[in-house]
Chains A and B, each alone.
Chain A
Amino acid sequence: MYRNFFFFLNYISVLLMAVIICKHHRRRISCSRPSGPPPAVMALLYGLIWRLLLAVVRIKRATASWFRLSIRSWRERFWQRTMAALLLPVPMSELPVYPQAAGTDGGRAKRLSRWISDGKSLDKLPAHIGFLVAEEELSYTDVANMVVWCMAIGVSYVSVYDHHGLFQKNSSCLQEEVVRQQHHLLGGAHPEYQMEVLKSSTGRPQHLVVSCRPTVKVLSPEDGKPSIVQAARKLCHSVEKKEWSSKDISVSMLDVLLRESKNIPDPELVVKFGPVNSMLGFLPWHIRLTEFISLPSHRDVSFEDLFGALQQYSACQQRLGQ
């Protein structure tokens, strides 16, 4: 049905195009005569076609993501059925497949070892990965899932960001969710992952992380430009007090100031979720060399989606200006 509609729209736009071309030609030929199609009519027509074009692109996008989802769910069902058919004796195969089969301890261990081996199969793993959620509705469970996956793969720092600052406002909610998902996905035998909530208003360096335990940071727009402004203000204050001269200020000085209040490496990879292609204020200073990969949505995101982004990252080559 989608397809038919799509073709229909295409058909209309082609038809309209043809009309326009004819009109245009007539106008060009009859240039000398004052009677052509009035410009207002043309403007209206162009506006109409533009709307149509955008609608077509949107529909195309929606169908593409719909197909992606349906294929995935179909594939999952297919595998479940085949596994059931192979493992269970024939008369029992008609029973519904036990949905939480993967939730048992054996399943967990197997899954964890698969994630670890997947992580090892990558040539290059980011030390710091950022999740930029550019969608209206946030799903804490899915974000928590991704955090746990990253930790299992071996990413040391994970930043979570949305441009309304909601994650930071509700960071305790996210923290609970991460702990819950950790239990669910990895079982209880694993060390608690540390969760640090960054609030730029504190401004002071946070406690130093001595252990190499992975850290989750929750960022908001406050940590972007305002933190740069704060660092600038600090430098200007010390210039005011004659501690520094304005000529002493260098890139590395500002970098140290901005890093100190965060004590994290720059993110090597930012995965953006949602239809908006923009950084939306995500740490402007720190994304100098960050790879930017988009996924359509963070809702119901699967390990394979995230792993695909990581694979794409590991294939990227940076020349650093050379």
Chain B
Amino acid sequence: MSKPTPKTYLSPGHRGCAGCCDALAAKFMLMGAGPDCIVVNPTGCLEVMTTPFPESAWEVPWIHSLFENGPAVASGIEAALKALGRKGNTKVIGVGGDGSTMDIGIRSLSGAFERGHDLTYVCIDNEAYMNTGVQRSSGTPFDASTTTSPAGKVSFGNPRPKKNMPAIMAAHGAPYVATTSIGYPRDMIRKVKKATETEGPTYIHAHAPCPTGWGFDGSKTIEMAKLAVQTCLWPMYEMENGEITQVKKVKNPMPVEEYLKAQKRFKHLFTMEGGDEEIKKIQALADWNIEYFGLQ
């Protein structure tokens, strides 16, 4: 028998798709954080699927305000707890998708981290605006086809690589920044726990494959997350005070094709002329990760 499963604080009955990555990420986040927290959740799939009035799937205090202001709302809660003498060990946790975190909410996030509030922010990165129908975000990977970066006769899809969000957050002087993946629940639970136990603003970037948005069967959510790590397209590491302190090694990296061919959003790379060259460019991104992070 393995270690006992930590208790989570998310109820079933939520409206997430079968095999939903957000539900898993939120579940693991709460397993790591425990009950003494207040969650701020910007607009997105997770917010919508968990709180249709008058219901809520959250068993911890939870607030949704808007799409781009989660970290500011979290700042206000943290300040209020301090002012009212209720802070104690209560951790304020922001949790948003790649769109709200990396695009529309980055000003708010940057401000909250620069000010040094005692909060943890978790980005659930499913690499596009899923709630509105799979539009491209700055988390969308190179050559992924989305509804606003579709592959076509003269396009291989999204022309840009992912924004390096963890580096941006580390540059704010955050004492703890880590990447993780829902494919490795124990890793995510451990890192969220560490983040919430670290004083000051801490950041977790969780890779979260979305079956609906990426085009794979809902039974493969965990499998796809693991493939991203095993192909070295998603490196898992921890940074303390700006320095990389731990990296999850990948002994025998798999070729990126194994990951790409399993998803509809990359299907065009295997059918379009010139797709081979594009796959080589994606392999180069994985090779860069291997080299830079010392994954092997």
A binds B: no
